Amino acid sequence: MRTRLDDVASPVARKYLRLQGAERLGPVCARKLVQHFGSIEKVFDASLAALERVEGIGTYRGRAVMAARNDDAADRAIAHAGTGGARVICWEDEEYPRLLKHTPDPPVCLYVRGRLEPEDGVAMAIVGSRRCTRYGLEQSERFGTALASAGFTIVSGLARGADGAAHRGALSAAGRTIAVMGCGLNRIYPPEHAELADRIVEGGALVSELPMDAPPEAKNFLPRNRIIAGMSLGVIVTECAKRSGALASARCAAEYNREVFAVPGQISNPLAHGSNALLRDNHAKLIMCLQDVLDELGDVGRMMQPADAPDAPEDPTRAKTGRRLDADEAAILKTITLDDSPLEYICDHSGLPPAKVAATLTRLQMKGLVVQRPGNLFARRAL
């Protein structure tokens, strides 16, 4: 019989939560440890001397890992999450976002209120200024509505201004939306978005890598932006000034090999100087409507094309027209057998970057050529 703690976090997530709590360790070093020793269990079985020999760990971090072997702190955090209506998921849990998992620095664990679903693998982030103009609000909501109507999950940061408008746009289309927070899930920020947060939970999720009661401190928001970018196929910047967290999200997206888009703004508007600079410097692709986004996403965009769009191009890759495959799809199908293939195996043997593997697997599932099994396993569908 499962205990209450096991309802909030899997046994393996409890171990990862211990690792996440190790002082000054960080997600990059945590991943090095698990890769070096082969499993989270072996990390905690290792001696201090063995830990110290891992690149980037040393004595201080090695001792921090040794100190994290006790379950007490992790169990308190899990119990607190359960009281707050949240769960804790880790890299090895099926619910962990697969796009995020294959970034260089994914959170070891995430606190989640609501649900993360497989279709969230086709997500688009919308970000912009907290103090955006009416135009910025309108564009954020407009793209949130249009993309959600087409089947994308909208990812943003629940902040004032553009973020809130993007979430509201997705909700108005009865679509899914995910809010990545720079504070704990018990500390909704800004407080006036408490009702919006409740609506998001009903059809999406609130997500944070921080403990439930972590305050909304400035130091938390830049790390939060990497999660927004990492969970998405691309980032849309609707309006932002020269110094903005939205630009940090765009930089992360570029580093993660995601698409970066920007909506052009009035040149005399200082709140659009950052987004316009992205376009000027060729760091983002100019978009004015949903079709612009879909065109840049290639086959994913064609698969997400609304059926009733008046200018919808005929999709030569649809299963009903003979299941024509592009080079990426053919490479992945060659890697996958009728037996279950782990996502990591597909990434390693297809020769494609993780973000492209995730997008291509989504297309293959839509075409009925691949099925996903529990545990992030994929298999060819017998035809």
Q: Is residue 351 part of a domain?
A: yes
- CA 105-18-66 angle, to 5 degrees, is 105
Q: Is residue 279 part of a domain?
A: yes
> How many residues in the chain?
383
Q: Is residue 93 part of a domain?
A: no
| Domain CATH for 245 | 3.40.50.450
Pair 191, 274 in one domain: yes
Place of tokens 């294959």: 102
Pair 331, 209 in one domain: no
| Domain CATH for 355 | 1.10.10.10
Report helix, strand or coil for 205: strand
Pair 197, 257 in one domain: yes
pLDDT of 382:
58
Q: Is residue 33 part of a domain?
A: yes
Closest by Cα among 110, 93, 107 to 26: 107
pLDDT of 338:
61
What's the number of domains the chain is made of? Answer: 3
- Dihedral angle at the C-alpha atoms of 239, 245, 250, 251, nearest 10 degrees? 140
Task: Tell me how far apart the alpha carbons of residues 34 and 27 are, in angstroms, rounded to a whole number.
Answer: 11
Closest by Cα among 89, 126, 81 to 107: 89
Q: Is residue 99 part of a domain?
A: no
Pair 178, 284 in one domain: yes
Pair 147, 26 in one domain: no
pLDDT tens string 265-318: 999 999 999 999 999 999 999 999 999 999 998 878 877 876 554 444 343 333
φ, ψ dihedrals at 198, nearest 5°: -65, -40
For the entire predicted model, the pTM comes to: 0.80
CB 346 within 8 A of CB 336: yes
CA–CA distances in Å: residue 269 to residues 43, 88, 98, 126, 209: 53, 42, 38, 20, 35
Pair 25, 52 in one domain: yes
The proportion of the chain whose per-residue pLDDT surpasses 70, expressed as a percent, equals 93
Domain boundary residue, one of 245, 273, 303 = 303
Task: Tell me how far apart the alpha carbons of residues 160 and 142 are, in angstroms, rounded to a whole number.
Answer: 16
Pair 139, 263 in one domain: yes
Closest by Cα among 48, 31, 50 to 40: 31
The sign of the torsion formed by the CA atoms of 233, 187, 112, 40 equals positive
pLDDT of 327:
82
Q: Which residue has the higher pLDDT, 1 or 330?
A: 330
pLDDT tens string 179-191: 999 999 999 999 9
Task: Tell me how far apart the alpha carbons of residues 143 and 239 are, in angstroms, rounded to a whole number.
Answer: 12
| Banded model confidence at residue 328, pLDDT cuts 50, 70, 90 | confident
Asked whether residue 1 carries a pLDDT value surpassing 60, the answer given is no
Closest by Cα among 18, 7, 141 to 83: 7
User: In the predicted model, what is the mean pLDDT of the chain?
Assistant: 88
Strands (E), the chain: 87-90, 109-114, 123-127, 153-156, 177-180, 204-208, 234-237, 259-262, 285-286, 341-342, 370-373, 377-380
pLDDT of 202:
93
Rounded mean pLDDT of 106-133?
Answer: 94
CB 232 within 8 A of CB 258: yes
Place of tokens 């000054």: 24
* Exposure string over 233-243, b if 16+ CB within 10 A, otherwise e: bbbbbbbbbee
Q: Is residue 98 part of a domain?
A: no
Pair 196, 274 in one domain: yes
* Exposure string over 197-223, b if 16+ CB within 10 A, otherwise e: beebbebbbbbbbbbbebebeeebbeb
pLDDT of 380:
82
Domain boundary residue, one of 270, 303, 336 = 303
Pair 122, 195 in one domain: yes
User: Could you write out the three-class secondary structure of 40-85?
Assistant: HHHHHHCCHHHHHCCCCCHHHHHHHHHHCCCCHHHHHHHHHHHHCC
pLDDT of 323:
54
Task: Tell me how far apart the alpha carbons of residues 129 and 195 are, in angstroms, rounded to a whole number.
Answer: 21
| Domain CATH for 17 | 1.10.150.20
| Banded model confidence at residue 237, pLDDT cuts 50, 70, 90 | very high
| Banded model confidence at residue 105, pLDDT cuts 50, 70, 90 | very high
Pair 330, 299 in one domain: no
**Which domain, by its residues, includes 199?**
118-303
Q: Is residue 100 part of a domain?
A: no
Asked whether residue 74 carries a pLDDT value surpassing 80, the answer given is yes
Report helix, strand or coil for 184: coil
| Banded model confidence at residue 378, pLDDT cuts 50, 70, 90 | confident
Query: Tokens for 41?
Result: 């269990």
Q: Is residue 13 part of a domain?
A: yes
Pair 330, 297 in one domain: no
pLDDT of 310:
42
Task: Tell me how far apart the alpha carbons of residues 325 and 244 are, in angstroms, rounded to a whole number.
Answer: 40
Lowest mean pLDDT: which of 13-27, 57-71, 275-289, 302-316? 302-316
Task: Tell me how far apart the alpha carbons of residues 206 and 171 are, in angstroms, rounded to a whole number.
Answer: 14
CA–CA distances in Å: residue 292 to residues 97, 281, 311, 320: 26, 19, 12, 25
pLDDT of 353:
85
| Banded model confidence at residue 365, pLDDT cuts 50, 70, 90 | confident
Pair 27, 167 in one domain: no
Closest by Cα among 185, 205, 196 to 114: 205
